[in-house]
Structure 1
Amino acid sequence: MPQDIQDQHHHDVDAKVELLDLEAEALAEHTAAITAWLPIEADPRKIVDLGCGTGAGTFALLARFPEAVVTAVDSSAEHLNRLRDKARELGVAERVRAVQADLDAAWPDVGEPDLVWASASLHHMADPDGTLRRVRGALAPGGLFALVELAGFPRFLPADAPEDRPGVEERCHAVLDRRHAARVPHRGADWAPRLTAAGFTVEGERAITVHIEQSRTDAVGRYALTSLRRIRAAVAEDLPADDLAVLDRLLDTGGDGSILRRDDLAVRTERVVLAARPASSTMDR
């Protein structure tokens, strides 16, 4: 691979790792609340985090269930390396087993977990229904599957901002939605009937509105900046020049119009959470 392509690849990977870490920091309180809501009678000892990224769910689950060990599964070596680093920093390395695997290919050896967690990962898979069936087959008797999905990409600016060109963020997302419609067809799916079809009984479902103002954590500004940088790179060819100019002004951290100088930022999104168990332990695994 030519050096310039390698450099770009490493830059893209580093930017994705940074974005996942910022997302985890900004949404930490909501993630903890989800783990507390799960309908669990006895604390699980064996947990699997499918599509773990850099560990947002893994570390929330370790904090919620202090006797548990988490098998963290992801296709990205870079994500797993970051997760291992954070596990060491937090002093929980002995409670984390990192497994690199393509969940659309050979199913990894995850043992017989008491809890399987999949947050913002299932919609990326080519065959999520097949994954659901594999999860059902892997769960220990009485085990729980927790599925968390974002209803859409987070928004950060008010609808009427910026003042000289309102709605630029929504127009960016409209472009992204058109691009993702073909490449990520399962984003925004109705997961409850798909869980039922895969042999689960849904025990709980809730929609969580996320609105985290910048005053709550300084991660909001950094998360917004990193997200909009990635969005700008993805939609540049399809946005009008006026919108690109506005984005560039927002992303100029040294300028007066920088997004980091705004006091009206917030993380705005919705998360859908479902908790399900195998419908019958007698069904074929």
Structure 2
Amino acid sequence: MNHASPHTASHVHEYEYEYEHDAGDHSEILDLDADVLAEHIASITAWLPVGAGPRHIVDLGCGTGAGSLALLDRFPGAEVTAVDVSAAHLHRLQEKAAGAAGRLRVVRADLDAPEWPDLGTPELVWASASMHHMSDPDRTLRQVHDLLAPGGLFALVELAGFPRFLPADAPEEAPGLEDRCHAALDHHHAERVPHRGADWRTKLTEARFTVEGERTVTVDIGPPHTDAVGRYALSSLRRLRGSAASALTAEDLTALDRLLDTDSAHSVLRRTDLGVRTERAVWAARRT
């Protein structure tokens, strides 16, 4: 694999923390993800082996449009069709893309449906942090293959779990709290998101794609950090609590709630040692 880490100084999805694509409005956290990880998303779009710029791109599971907007910027001659099941996400994307409205089309659709609406014949399909949520990803990959123009490219971006924000010895009263939260989240996702961490290279090959490139983008931002990182950490840890709470001790829950209390001196917003650490895996696969 090639390794890139522009900040070692990521729709994907987008890139992309773990969230349920059909479980309500996640616009705030998706917007923060796009803001904080914009440089990493741009590095992925710049790496894609597309040759001549595509004229039509489809973004599957677009969320609030981190990938769509990056692709519009990367390929100024292209039009993007953005697909998501959430009307709130699509509305937010339209607001953010007002200046490129003539190049953006939004389509509300359930990608788990056996038949998709007419999405045209794109030369590039982008899917960030969406494929592992499909009930039958093998069928979805075949649908993507058939959707693409001959010779077209599929960019699949997946996340290496939920981002981390705290140092290993934090917080002082519960060192290693984030590790324990992640262990609980991994157990939660093993039951509810069985395709997380799938062997995508093999699945792409079985769907008749030729994998032309594969890389891992390492995200390691700060400290020091921006206000957006603080808000991203707060929003993300709130969602992490929702999934991990039942597996945590009372002491860990108390420590986590102190971090989430924005009125507390211990609030995550007041910490100076926050960072963002995660990885995104990317596959570039050709319809031959």
Deviates more, 1:229-238 or 1:32-41: 229-238
Corresponding letter in the other structure for 1:261:
R
Alignment of 1:52-71 (within 5 A): 52-71=62-81
Number of aligned pairs?
A: 265
Residue 280 of structure 2 corresponds to which residue in structure 1?
A: 271
Kept in 1, the 8 Å contact 2:224–2:273? The answer is no
Match of 1:3 in 2: none
Partner of 2:211: 202
Counterpart residue number, 1:95: 103
Distance in 2, matches of 1:222 and 1:232, equals 15
| TM-score normalised to structure 2 length | 0.89
Amino acid at match of 2:74: R
1:45 matched residue in structure 2: 55
From 28, 35, 40, give the equivalent of 2:38: 28
Out of 225-234 and 192-201, give the one that drifted further: 225-234
Task: Give 1:211's aligned residue.
Answer: 220
Alignment counterpart, residue 135 of structure 2, candidates 126, 132, 145: 126
Match status 1:79 vs 2:86: no
1:129-168 deviation line (CA, Å, top 9, x unaligned) = 1111111111112110000001111111111211221111
1:4 matched residue in structure 2: none
Match of residue 9 from structure 2: none
Structure 2 CA distance, aligned partners of 1:159 and 1:69? Answer: 44
C-alpha spacing 1:217/1:68, structure 2 compared with 1 (3 Å): farther
Query: Per the alignment, in what secondary structure is the counterpart of residue 43 of structure 1?
Result: coil
Q: Structure 2 unaligned segments of length 5 or more: list them.
A: 1-22
Deviations 1:193-239 (A, max 9, x none): 11000001100000111111153532111100001111112222221
Amino acid at match of 1:152: G
Paired amino acid for 2:87:
A
SS of 1:270's equivalent? Answer: strand
> 1:39 deviation in Å?
0.6
For residues 180-201 of structure 1, give each alpha carbon's deviation from its aligned partner in whole angstroms, at most 9, with x where no partner exists. Answer: 1121111111210110000011
SS in 2 for 1:158: coil
Structure 1 residue 164 and structure 2 residue 173: aligned? yes
How far does residue 260 in structure 1 lie from its aligned partner after superposition?
1.1
Tell me how far apart the structure 2 counterparts of residues 216 and 28 of structure 1 sit (CA, whole Å). 15
Equivalent-residue separation in structure 2 for 1:97 and 1:52 (angstroms): 12
Structure 1 residue 136 and structure 2 residue 145: aligned? yes
Gaps of at least 5 residues in structure 1 are: 1-11, 281-285
Q: Work out the CA distance in 2 between the residues paired with 1:267 and 1:107.
A: 36
| Superposition misfits of 4+ residues, deviation over 3 angstroms | 214-217
Q: CA deviation at 1:253?
A: 1.4
Q: Which amino acid aligns with 1:256?
A: A
Contact 1:48 1:117 in 2 (8 A): yes
Deviation per residue, 1:14-39 (Å, 9 max, x gap): 4x110111011111000000000001
Residue 106 (structure 2) pairs with residue 116 (structure 1):
no
Q: Contact conserved, 2:225 with 2:274, CA < 8 A, in 1?
A: no
> Shift in Å at residue 116 of structure 1?
0.1
Contact preservation (8 Å) 2:62, 2:127: yes
- Please state whether the residue corresponding to 2:97 is helix, strand or coil: helix
- Higher-Rg structure is 1
TM-score between both structures, scaled by the size of structure 1: 0.90
Over the matched positions of the two proteins, sequence identity in percent amounts to: 69
Structure 1 range deviating more: 248-257 or 55-64: 248-257
Would the aligned equivalents of 1:71 and 1:96 in 2 still touch at CA under 8 Å?
Answer: yes
SS at match of 1:92: helix
Give the CA deviation at 1:64.
Answer: 0.3
Preserved CA contact (<8 Å) 1:214 1:220: no
Instruction: Check if 1:178 corresponds to 2:187.
Output: yes
Amino acid at match of 2:60: L
Instruction: Spell out the pairing of 1:7-18 with structure 2 (5 A cutoff).
Output: 13-14=24-25, 16-18=26-28
Equivalent of residue 229 in structure 1, options 212, 216, 238: 238
Greater RCO, 1 or 2 (C-alpha within 8 Å, sep 6+) = 2
Q: Is the 8 A contact 2:109 2:117 kept in 1?
A: yes
